[in-house]
Structure 1
Amino acid sequence: MPDTRIAQALARLTRHQELHLPLRRTDLLGRLVMRFLWRRQVKWQIETNLAVREALEGLAETDRSFRSELDRLTERGDLVTTDQLRHEVATLHQQDQNIMAGLNQRLYSSVGRVQSQLGDLQLRLAESAERNDGVEQRLKALEQQVEALTEAARHDRVRNARFELFLDEVRAALPKPPAPEVTDRVPGRESFLELAVAELLDGPVDRVRAARREYLPVLTSAGDAGATGPVFDMAPARGEWLMVVRDAELPYRAASDNRALRDHLERLGLAVEEGDALDALANTAPRTLGAVTAFRYAERVQPTVLARFVELAATALQPGGVLIVETSAGDGEDASDFHLDPFAVRPVHADFLRFLVEAAGFARSELRKADPMSAQTGRYTMIAWR
């Protein structure tokens, strides 16, 4: 309510608060009317007028206080005006637009980078697909070469068999058997059979080398313990283990009485002594070997020969040296490896082999599952430290 209207209302209440009483003597009509009106009702109207007047005075006082406080806040700058609020809203709106513009710019930039990366990935995928096509073509070519080599090997085996039959006919037709110096120069069929059986049992050479390479840390730890002598291998077979030892630049020894096997290893650049491996181990000076290894050896000898082999290995090993024997248990569902080997005499139970190494004086032993990458399963490895 404006100040002028409050002032006018207060003036009217001031003039009429007593209802113009008492009446003048000359106002006969008024006195006549008052005689018939209730005095109590007149009194209540007077009190009502007074209450309204006081209320208006309080309202006026409140309005003055409010305006005084408003002026004070305005002078101090604590009161925000409508223009200031409008300016603040405009500033916030501008900042919001700037932030949204920045976010949109970053979003578009990120989307652009992602699209660029997706394009690069698509190019790489296309290149990979092209390379894969090339690899598949090369694999197919290699498969064809392998098939051709397999067929050639089959023909070679047939020719060798025919040649053996021819030699048998020639020997039968001779008046007397060939001289010993002639027969010694021609390897027997058993010599070639050992290499063929190794191919049958173990599979590709590279896969066997990868499996044998798992034993290199054992040799390294033995060398760190002071066993720096050569590694003596009892059954070199196709030479996978000897190649692993040679590539690791470790000294080695091996012996075999199989001439065809020695010729095969010589072509691989591996030196193998002529003669029985057990005799070569027996003739080895005590405490001169760093390790003794035997892969597919234990199941091909009699238990007495196996016991002698373990005792000779314990004698020849240096302190800290290691014995590695990989063989077949020959039982359970994984016994196919043992029964497929024509040279296998009897399976070797792990507890019996552990008994032999403990009786020979080895300090500790460990049993492992052997050759997880080999063609046949059901084999284990006994590792014993001197």
Structure 2
Amino acid sequence: MIEANNPEIDVDDLMEKVREEVAKRQTKPFTKENANRQPSIGINPLLAHQIQAFLNNAESKSQVRTEFPEKLNRFPFTLSRRFQKFVLRLYAFLFKEQRAVNFSLIQALRESFALNQQLSEQIADLQSQLKSIDERYVKNHIDIKNDLAQQQQLVDCILDEVKCRLPELLKSEQLQKLINQNTGLVDAFYVALEDKFRGSREEIIERLKVYLPRIAQAEIGIKNLPILDLGCGRGEWLELLRDEGYVARGLDINQLMLDQCNTKYLDVIEADALTYLKSQPDASLGAVTGFHLIEHLPFSVLINLIEESVRVLKQGGLVIFETPNPQNALVGTHNFYIDPSHLKPLPSALVKFMLEHSGFEQVEIINLHPYDESFKLSGSPVAERFNEYFYGSQDYAVIGYKP
């Protein structure tokens, strides 16, 4: 249609260039050669410039003519001005609808070209994200395989040593009896340790109230999206949640502490935290919490526990982990080691990074439980800095949300 009114424009040539570009952008068959090659995204800048030039030329040629072509103003085609105006008006009238069609087509081509560029940018962004996800998946897969291989080697080494030292392997009943006896002694010791250094039940419940606004904001703790507390201990958090009307369940491996929870009629079970998480369906929990738990876990177990927490949480669900703050010098060098089951202090920057690396968003650190003001010095900037590192927050919490 355009060429009928404007013989200078070759629309067939324009459309052929567009078709060639579309053909180039068709998905190529999967081969070893292009498996790892990033596909080209977007129209070539030179071709894009040519297409824009064609469209601009087409639009200019579709305008209403106000003057005769230069070649018709020469002898022997010289016409009077009045006659020229008459011819131009007649020409404009006869091709009025044609011009409207031409303008509509040009505008459609411009919109299509702009949409093509926008889609190209979005595809490039998605490919970049997919590449990042693939790299992260491969890295995690390799790390997990390495951890499993190391653990398997350790188990094999222990079993070989046991076979060499024992004339006869112990029966399963004998092994279980030894395990139960040793576990009972440790459980009793740990309960006494908690009672001595953790604080009273009332004090702990009061401290934990700081997390209630986060639970309310997330709209969780209902029957279909309960809260799971890992290492629930004496059950202070579970008791607080129940009294506030939330649905929650606790896990622990210390039978004496579970007995204390049962006397409060709390929903608790004896189970290993990571094993239990792996048994839960995807997106089945509203929150996963653990208070003074993660400092007890080997690093590989902690990584897996965080990864499983991401999986079992619903979108918008959250994790809350509270742990001693090693930035406080007294905590990092002394108080932390009062508990013999602690492995090593965990700096807040490390734990924050671990959550973000596993996929949590809006991850934040909340500093908690500073020493009483009576401990602190005053009178100089040096005293303020001393207070920060010796009498500052004894614990911190890391909170993250599943996107």
User: TM-score, normalization: structure 1?
Assistant: 0.50
Compare CA radii of gyration and give the structure with the larger one.
1
Q: Which has the higher helix share?
A: 1
